[in-house]
C-alpha cells in the first residue's frame, strides 16, 4: 500500500533530494540537509507517514556532518535519499 504524503511534505522531500546531490563536500550544506531531514522527520510523524518517517530516520542515522572532512557515507545516503 502506498503512503499518502501531503504535497507540502513531498515538496520538502524533493528539496532534500536536490540538496543532497550538492552537499558531499560542503559542510554548511551538509548541515542544512541534516536540519531539513530532522524537521521533515517530525512533520512526517505528525502527518502519520510512518513508513516514510522510518526511511528518513534511516538516512539521519548515517548522516553525521563533520567539519573539515568529506562525507564518507555520501553515496549510501544518496542512494537512500533517491529511493524516497
Within a domain: 24: yes
Q: What angle do CA 20, 57, 43 make, to 5 degrees?
A: 85
- What would you report as the CA-atom Rg of the chain, rounded to the nearest whole angstrom? 12
Q: Are 11 and 36 in contact (CB under 8 A)?
A: no
Domain interval for residue 53 = 7-83
CB atoms near residue 53 (< 10 Å): 20
- Residues 8-66 have pLDDT tens digits of 998 988 888 888 877 666 778 888 888 999 999 999 999 999 999 999 999 899 887 77
Within a domain: 17: yes
pTM score of the predicted model: 0.75
CB atoms near residue 7 (< 10 Å): 7
Within a domain: 2: no
Number of folded domains that form the chain: 1
Within a domain: 1: no
Within a domain: 76: yes
Amino acid at each position: 500500500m502506498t503512503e499518502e504524503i501531503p504535497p507540502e511534505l513531498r515538496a520538502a522531500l524533493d528539496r532534500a533530494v536536490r540538496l543532497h546531490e550538492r552537499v558531499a563536500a560542503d559542510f554548511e550544506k551538509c548541515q542544512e540537509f541534516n536540519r531539513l531531514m530532522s524537521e521533515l522527520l517530525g512533520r512526517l510523524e505528525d502527518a502519520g507517514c510512518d513508513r516514510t518517517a522510518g526511511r528518513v530516520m534511516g538516512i539521519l542515522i548515517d548522516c553525521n556532518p563533520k567539519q573539515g572532512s568529506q562525507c564518507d557515507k555520501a553515496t549510501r545516503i544518496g542512494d537512500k535519499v533517491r529511493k524516497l
